[in-house]
Structure 1
Amino acid sequence: MNDTPRIRTVLSCTLLALTVTAGATACAGSDGHPLSASPYDAADQITFAAADGARLDPEKPLEITSTDDDGRISDVTATDAAGRHLAGELTADGRTWRSTGSLAAGTRYTVRVATEDEDGAPGARTYTFETAPAKRALTVTFGPQAGTYGVGQPITADLTLPVKDRAARAVVERALKVRSTPAVEGSWYWVDDKKLHFRPKEYWPAGTLVSVTGNLDGLRVGDKLYGGPSKPLRLKIGDRIEAVADAETHYMTVRRNGEVINTIPVTTGKPGFST
């Protein structure tokens, strides 16, 4: 009866020893040598069309292929100079990564490729390349001019080229950013094919600071049509001035920020000739 506890104690120590041993050898390669903490240079395992410094056509997809029969690509991230990520898909066998999103025109990309060899050791390679500039550039001018405006003032956006396609219009709307302090909900509305207005859902609060920017530069808008650079705009919203005329009493009430500052007699016509 006294032997049982001793057997359990020995078994517990054995399991502990096995656990420690497994942890100690987890970082060793197939040849018994410890793997390096830093990924190896995977340049010889990858083919990349822009690796020779050529400018890529933004109308064509980006493709990266593994040339190692026993290795694979594990991950790819591609980011342009504006910080926009290029979407893509990796094949199930890890042999090829191909972009599914549109390349931006006239910009520099940084591509980081992660690989694994037959032993699972990580490799890495970073590439930079440029895309050819767009032949047609869509630019935007924001209005009104910088200054202080009333609480009902819309933001205007004038385009240099007409945009009629619904999908292309959605791209433009997403790229035009209106930020304010305090934050205000609002939307862009198309006045015609070349002009948009942004209006808040309610009036701008008095004292609001408004910032308008365009992220169209290099962005694919439509068939062979890309966005160009734009100048940002900053506005300030002044006091909320409201003038309400009453046709029955023939008086107009003027309020500033909700407080009545004046009551003025007005004419709104006469019987038979009412306004």
Structure 2
Amino acid sequence: MAPSTTTPAGVAPVKVTVTPADGARGVEPAASVTVSATGGQVRDVVVTDRSGAHVPGTVKDGAWTPQRRLGLDSTYSVRSVVSLSDGTSQTASSSFRTLKPATTAKYTLLPSDDTVGVGMPAIVQLASAVKTPQQRAEVERNVEITTVPAVEGSWGWLDDRQLMWRPKDY
């Protein structure tokens, strides 16, 4: 199914290209959505999930980037608005589905109550080994720690299954 568009009467439609393409499957959850227009200017891009909820993100130069990774094995709809030279606008709509992973990471948080004191690290205990530097970097990018008050800290690997976060200063 090609992206659907709505163009004002009497105005030649512009060519709008949305990436990922309409109906795409297996899209990487960290992917951005790019909208380009030949003969028009991309003004807005809105991405919604299956329930119609707006997915937070930013638009710059026609590329919408999510504030957080999109969900796995999820369907998203894209609606873009393109300004035409005569001051009117054209919309384009499409949808895509993110990838369904062959395996997923299983983990436990230590301590299990999710709250630690100043001397206790927060530890993510993974069920399977994370062996390569690339895999470890990917895990670190996708795990988030929130401290109250805000505290600077960093990740460190105890072994190939335990990722630990400690504050910079005691």
Compared with structure 1, are the counterparts of its residues 146 and 63 closer, same or farther at alpha carbon in structure 2 (3 Å cutoff)? closer
The answer to which structure has the higher strand fraction is 2
Where do 1:25-40 residues align within 5 Å?
Answer: none
- 8 Å contact from structure 1 (residues 86, 103) kept in 2: no
In the other structure, the counterpart of 1:194 is 161
| Residues in 2 aligned to 1:105 and 1:148: alpha-carbon distance in whole angstroms | 27
Displacement of 1:63 after TM fit?
6.5
| Residues in 2 aligned to 1:140 and 1:80: alpha-carbon distance in whole angstroms | 29
- 8 Å contact from structure 1 (residues 190, 197) kept in 2: yes
Contiguous gaps of at least 5 residues in structure 1:
1-39, 91-96, 204-275
In the other structure, the counterpart of 2:26 is 57
Where do 1:46-195 residues align within 5 Å?
Answer: 46=16, 49-50=21-22, 54=23, 56-58=25-27, 71-75=39-43, 77=45, 79=47, 81=49, 83=55, 85=57, 105-146=72-113, 151-195=118-162
Secondary structure in 2 matching 1:173: helix
| Residues in 1 aligned to 2:59 and 2:127: alpha-carbon distance in whole angstroms | 28
**TM-score, scaled to structure 2:** 0.61
| Residues in 2 aligned to 1:147 and 1:109: alpha-carbon distance in whole angstroms | 31
Amino acid at match of 2:158: V
**Aligned residues, how many?**
150
Residues 141-178 of structure 1: per-residue CA shift (max 9 Å, x gap): 21112187654211110223333333432332232222
- 8 Å contact from structure 2 (residues 155, 165) kept in 1: yes
Secondary structure in 2 matching 1:56: strand
Where do 1:12-31 residues align within 5 Å?
Answer: none
Q: Which has the larger radius of gyration?
A: 1
**TM-score, scaled to structure 1:** 0.41
The answer to which structure has the higher helix fraction is 1
Percent of counterpart pairs with the same letter?
Answer: 28
Secondary structure in 1 matching 2:120: coil
Secondary structure in 2 matching 1:114: strand
Displacement of 1:47 after TM fit?
5.8
Displacement of 1:77 after TM fit?
3.4
Q: Which protein, 1 or 2, shows the higher relative CO under an 8 Å CA cutoff with sep ≥ 6?
A: 2
